[in-house]
Structure 1
Amino acid sequence: MDLLYWVLIVAMFIISFIGLIYPIIPSVVFILGGFILYGLFFSFVEFSWVFWTVQIFFVVLLFSADYLANMLGVKKYGGSKAGIWGSTIGLLVGPFVIPVFGILIGPFLGAVIAELLIHRKGFTEALKIGVGSVIGFISSVITKSIVQAVMIGYFLIVVI
């Protein structure tokens, strides 16, 4: 039975990494779900206040990294709030409209379209802002994957 429990916990962690590519999947919820499943299946005794404090810090870091990377990527290349919103909407819609490549094309097109329509930027400038949104997204994915790996690694150190 322990093997089945661990399979479920590991599945939660794997789904959290899939959430890096499909942002509609709440990665943090699945990581925390893995911790809670461990507590329910085995014991919460290993989870001290230090464990939960560290994990909450990482959760805040994950949310911050997501927002800041997107915002900085768009802003650095001259984008506005409309570009940030367009990029975010494209990030959520892109993977479902264009499987596989939509994760990169979505934020790019979202930022470009928003800058063209809302702020009437030139086409070249809007393209530059779109590239910034993709750079921001990639930076976010890299940062979040490292933070998630550290969260799971710390969990494993505590429970094993």
Structure 2
Amino acid sequence: MDILHITILTLSLMIMFGGLAGIVLPIIPSTPLIWVGVLIYAVCDGFKSISWSLVLIFGVLTILSVILDYFGGVIGAKKYGATKWGLIGSVIGGIAGFFMGGIIGLVFGPFFGAVLFELIFGKDFRSSLKSGIGTLVGFLGGAIAKLVIGVIIIGIFIWKVF
């Protein structure tokens, strides 16, 4: 490996691990950043270690992780019996929570939004709370799925390169 190859590999790994940090830090686009790191290395390497098909598979996994991340809370809330008002509340709560409290707000904003909207629009406290818990479960499930997908992509990348 020459110095250029080592530099590109180092840069790609830094981008990928930065993306992995994005699973916890919502400002960083996690798995899309991991995929960009793979793509940069693959292009610079002439697709010798990482093939086009593997880049495409990683792209599909990236899209899946983004979908799970964005809709995880909504899916969880729906599974736990949320109405359309609870779903709307969870989205509004997530947006408000992000701007008001960073990562803590991003996690608990959808919960409070779902509970609040369910209460406002006629559900009893117990059912409203259940909808909020569903939002949390879905959010955490999406985050775990994103983490697993990110680790798998990085693991396969390292295995193929070395």
TM-score range (shorter-chain normalised) is: 0.7 to 0.9
Question: 1:29 corresponds to which letter in structure 2?
Answer: P
Alpha-carbon distance in 1 for matches of 2:54, 2:83: 39
Residue of structure 2 equivalent to 1:137: 139
The reply to whether residue 32 of structure 1 matches residue 68 of structure 2 is no
Query: Which amino acid letter does the alignment assign opposite residue 142 of structure 2?
Result: S
The reply on whether 1:120 has 2:122 as its aligned counterpart is: yes
For the 8 Å contact 1:86–1:113, the answer to whether it is kept is yes
C-alpha deviation, 1:80, in angstroms:
2.1
Deviation at 1:127, TM superposition (A): 1.9
Report the CA distance shift for 1:106/1:124 in structure 2 as closer, same or farther (over 3 A): same
Q: Deviations over 1:22-53 (max 9, x none)?
A: 44432232112212332355443333232123
Report the CA distance shift for 1:91/1:30 in structure 2 as closer, same or farther (over 3 A): same
- Give the alignment partner of residue 77 of structure 2, picking from 74, 78, 84: 74
Aligned residues: 159
Q: CA RMSD in A?
A: 2.6
Per-residue CA distance 1:47-95 (angstroms, 9 max, x = gap): 3232123213312321342355323310122102332233234334424
The SS at the match of 1:101 is: helix
**Residues of 2 paired with 1:149 and 1:79: CA distance?**
32
Gapped runs of 5+ residues in structure 1? Answer: none
- Return the TM-score normalized by structure 2: 0.79
Tell me by how many angstroms 1:102 deviates.
1.9
CA shift, 1:148, in A, is 1.0
2:50 maps to 1:47: yes
Amino acid at match of 1:137: F
Of the structure 1 ranges 25-34 and 6-15, higher mean CA displacement relative to structure 2 is found in 6-15
Runs of 4+ in 1 over 4 A off after TM superposition: 1-4
Question: What is the TM-score when the length of structure 1 is the normalising length?
Answer: 0.79
**Percent of counterpart pairs with the same letter?**
33
Encode CA deviations 1:107-144: one digit per residue, 9 max, x unaligned. Answer: 21121223234x33223322221111111111111111
